[in-house]
C-alpha cells in the first residue's frame, strides 16, 4: 500500500474527520480539502497541495466514500417547458421587441445550510439531522437581450439586520417577512414601482 507523503497531516485530518462523524456533521470532499490545506499551513508545509488526486488517495486509503443525503423537490416537467417554448414564448416574442420583454426569477440562499452529502467510512450509515432553514431570497429581473437589468430585491426575516447597522445607503431594496419568501404583497409593491418607472 502506498505510504502518505505527509503522514502527520493525514493523521490529524483523519482524527478531525472521525470527530465530525461523531458529531453527525456532514463533511464533503471540498470541506476535507480546505481543512487539509489549513492543517498543512499550521504545520508549516506551505508546499502542500490538497488536489483531487490527493483527496482520492486519502479516501481510498481510509475507506471513505461519498454518501448523498436524499431530499424531496418538485420538478418542472419536460411537457411544461415544451408547451412554453413552442406556444407562449413564441406568441410573446411575436408581439413585443426583445428589449421590452423581461424575465423575473428568484433564488434563495440558505447561508447556514450544511452540505447535502457527506463522506463516511465504508459500511457505515449517515443519520442526517434537521437542516437549518435560515435564508434570504433575492429576486432578479432582466430583459431578454440582457441590456437592462433591474436592481435586485432582497427579502429577509430580520427588519434590522446587524449587517445593515451604520449603513447609510443600500445598493438594493430590502424587504422583510417571517419566511423570507417573495410573497404577493412584496411582489405587488415591486411591480407597481417598476410600472411607474416605465410610464
Encode the chain (199 residues) as per-residue pLDDT tens digits: 445 677 888 889 999 988 888 777 788 888 888 898 888 888 888 888 888 888 888 888 888 887 665 544 445 667 777 777 777 777 777 888 888 888 889 988 887 777 767 777 887 776 666 667 788 899 999 998 889 999 999 998 888 877 778 888 878 888 988 888 888 899 999 999 988 888 8
* Site of grid cell 407562449: 88
14 in any annotated domain: yes
**Hey, how many other C-beta atoms are within 10 angstroms of the C-beta on 50?**
21
Which residues lie across from 149 on neighbouring strands?
Answer: 142
pTM, two decimal places: 0.51
Please report, for the domain that includes residue 13, its CATH number. Answer: 1.10.10.60
Residue 4: what pLDDT?
61
Residue 9's Cβ-count burial label (10 Å; 0-12, 13-18, 19+) is buried
* 8 A C-beta contact, residue 153 and residue 172: yes
Report the pLDDT value the prediction gives residue 72, as an integer from 0 to 100.
Answer: 41
By CB neighbour count within 10 A (0-12 exposed, 13-18 middle, 19+ buried), where does 95 fall? Answer: exposed
Give me the pLDDT at residue 73, please: 42
User: Domain range for residue 54?
Assistant: 7-62
Q: Are residues 38 and 107 in the same domain?
A: no
- The answer as to whether 89 is a domain residue is no
Residue 68 domain flag: no
Q: Domain count for the chain, please give it.
A: 2
Amino acid at each position: 500500500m502506498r505510504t502518505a507523503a505527509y503522514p502527520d497531516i493525514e493523521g490529524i485530518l483523519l482524527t478531525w474527520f472521525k470527530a465530525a462523524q461523531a458529531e453527525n456533521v456532514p463533511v464533503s470532499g471540498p470541506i476535507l480539502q480546505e481543512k487539509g490545506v489549513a492543517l498543512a499551513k499550521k504545520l508549516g508545509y506551505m508546499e502542500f497541495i490538497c488536489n483531487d488526486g490527493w483527496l482520492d488517495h486519502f479516501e481510498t486509503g481510509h475507506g471513505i466514500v461519498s454518501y448523498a443525503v436524499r431530499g424531496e423537490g418538485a420538478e418542472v416537467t419536460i411537457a411544461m417547458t415544451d408547451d412554453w417554448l413552442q406556444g407562449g414564448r413564441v406568441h410573446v416574442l411575436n408581439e413585443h421587441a426583445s428589449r421590452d420583454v423581461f424575465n423575473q426569477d428568484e433564488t434563495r440562499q440558505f447561508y447556514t445550510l450544511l452540505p447535502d452529502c457527506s463522506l463516511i467510512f465504508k459500511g457505515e450509515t449517515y443519520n442526517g439531522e434537521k437542516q437549518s432553514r435560515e435564508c434570504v431570497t433575492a429576486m432578479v429581473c432582466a430583459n431578454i437581450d440582457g441590456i437592462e437589468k433591474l436592481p435586485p430585491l432582497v427579502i429577509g426575516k430580520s427588519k434590522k439586520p446587524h449587517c445593515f447597522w451604520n449603513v447609510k445607503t443600500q445598493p438594493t431594496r430590502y424587504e422583510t417577512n417571517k419566511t423570507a419568501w417573495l410573497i404577493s404583497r412584496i411582489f405587488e409593491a415591486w411591480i407597481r414601482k417598476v410600472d411607474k418607472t416605465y410610464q
